[in-house]
């Protein structure tokens, strides 16, 4: 299997594209000072940018903070008064071992998914893999691992070749993140370690801090070029030598332009695209626990469309006094391109 690691060198069966925080990214007119919410949860920050005509919401996650961990969620169904989450990427009609009955796969909106996991400490949810939206024939199409259990593959998804074509993002128990693509015949998985929670998408948008050509990247993962050109995009990337996760959703922006913005502004070195268009959704909690979204449509109508998989960020609330006082966003500004920003900011106040 091929893995794109942060500062790695691995065996010949792996292809390493070691990445590091860009030491001096090129300043860009489209890298404005972000508008950041007061910190409300440990190791998690939400910021908003205007990039030309585009609107971009970014969630930054400090992977070194022990109060932060990542997880995944799938839709499910109501069994009486109890919600039961799917344990397969297919309904029972396609996968006899699936606990989700019928021939249609249940789908769920990202804000609803966040509300469902809020009591367990989830503070951010973002959509992940592509799925059978039109006919609900199946859920996530690529490599899918939740809490150490593989939910796709021969046991659940027949002979699907998608996991060997599309890229994945794997999150280990210790929050180490790797990117890659499966190699046929290489079936060794550390489900309890490196692949503990894994979502897929594609294509890869950036490697070693270099934005990849959209059309070539889409063709390499057998995605139509228009998938990277839609108005709404969702991207996940790694910065700060693997210590920071950057989640972004953008409106009126292509996948390549969103990736370029994240590389130039936050020093993102490796980035993967998730499902876009109407599926591109990210929701987070404000200091009072209310669900917010990057677009008013999400808050009013609870999301653009139901999806088949979500990536979750879990954290613990900060004392409300901290949020009200607006402490310095040191972590955010350790990532921001200082040339572009040319400022050090506190919430609500910026000084030259």
Q: Is 47 left (phi over 0), alpha (psi -120 to 50) or beta?
A: beta
DSSP 302: S
β-partners of residue 77 are 84
- The 10 Å CB-count burial string (b at 16+, else e) for 250-261 is bbebbbbbbbbb
Assign 230 a pLDDT band (cuts: 50, 70, 90).
confident
Highest mean pLDDT among 150-159, 280-289, 317-326: 280-289
Alpha-carbon distance of 281 to 57, in angstroms, equals 10
Instruction: Write out the two tokens for 29.
Output: 């007119």
Q: Cα 303 to the chain's mean position, in Å?
A: 16
| SS3 category, 201 | coil
pLDDT at 217: 82
pLDDT tens column, 58-90: 999 999 999 999 999 999 999 999 999 999 999
Long-range CB contact pairs, 161-164, < 8 A, 24+: 162/200, 163/200
pLDDT at 337: 61
Phi, psi at residue 106, to the nearest 5°? -70, 145
Which is nearest to 41 in space by CA: 264, 285, 223?
285
DSSP states of 156-188:
HHTT--GGGTS-EEEE-TT--EEEEE--TT---
300 Cβ neighbours under 8 A, 6+ residues apart? none
Residue 319 pLDDT greater than 90, yes or no: no
Global pTM reads 0.84
pLDDT at 88: 96
Residue 15 pLDDT greater than 90, yes or no: no
Which is more confidently placed, 337 or 190? 190
Alpha-carbon distance of 266 to 326, in angstroms, equals 21
Alpha-carbon distance of 177 to 68, in angstroms, equals 14
CB count in 10 Å sphere of residue 148: 15
pLDDT at 282: 95
pLDDT tens column, 160-189: 788 889 999 999 999 999 999 988 766 667
The average pLDDT across 302-322 equals 85
Phi, psi at residue 33, to the nearest 5°? -60, 130
pLDDT at 150: 92
Sign, Cα dihedral of 83, 87, 89, 94: negative
Is residue 31 a contact partner of residue 302, using CB atoms and an 8 Å limit? no
């Amino acid at each position: 299997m091929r893995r794109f690691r942060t500062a790695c060198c691995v065996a010949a069966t792996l292809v390493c594209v070691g990445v590091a925080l860009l030491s001096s990214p090129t300043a860009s007119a489209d890298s404005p000072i972000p508008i950041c919410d007061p910190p409300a949860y440990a190791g998690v920050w939400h910021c908003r940018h205007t990039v030309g005509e585009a609107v971009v919401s970014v969630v930054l996650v400090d992977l070194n903070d022990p109060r932060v961990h990542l997880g995944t969620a799938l839709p499910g169904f109501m069994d009486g008064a109890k919600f039961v989450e799917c344990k397969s990427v297919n309904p029972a009609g396609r996968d006899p071992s699936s606990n989700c009955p019928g021939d249609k796969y249940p789908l769920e909106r990202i804000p609803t998914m966040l509300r469902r996991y809020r009591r367990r400490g989830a503070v951010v949810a973002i959509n992940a893999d592509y799925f059978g939206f039109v006919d609900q024939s199946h859920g996530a199409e690529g490599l899918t691992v939740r809490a150490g259990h593989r939910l796709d593959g021969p046991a659940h998804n027949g002979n699907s070749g998608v996991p060997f074509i599309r890229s994945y993002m794997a999150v280990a128990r210790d929050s180490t993140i790797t990117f890659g693509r499966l190699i046929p015949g290489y079936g060794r998985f550390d489900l309890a370690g490196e692949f503990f929670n894994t979502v897929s998408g594609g294509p890869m948008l950036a490697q070693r801090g270099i934005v990849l050509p959209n059309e070539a990247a889409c063709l390499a993962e057998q995605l139509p070029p228009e998938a990277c050109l839609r108005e709404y995009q969702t991207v996940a990337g790694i910065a700060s030598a693997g210590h920071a996760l950057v989640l972004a959703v953008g409106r009126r922006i292509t996948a390549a332009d969103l990736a370029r913005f994240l590389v130039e502004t936050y020093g993102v070195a490796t980035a993967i695209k998730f499902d876009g268009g109407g599926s591109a959704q990210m929701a987070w909690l404000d200091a009072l626990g209310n669900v917010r979204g990057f677009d008013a449509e999400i808050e009013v109508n609870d999301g653009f469309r139901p999806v088949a998989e979500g990536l979750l960020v879990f954290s613990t609330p900060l004392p409300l006094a901290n949020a009200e006082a607006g402490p310095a966003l040191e972590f955010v500004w350790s990532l921001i391109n200082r040339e572009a920003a040319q400022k050090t900011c506190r919430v609500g106040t910026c000084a030259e």
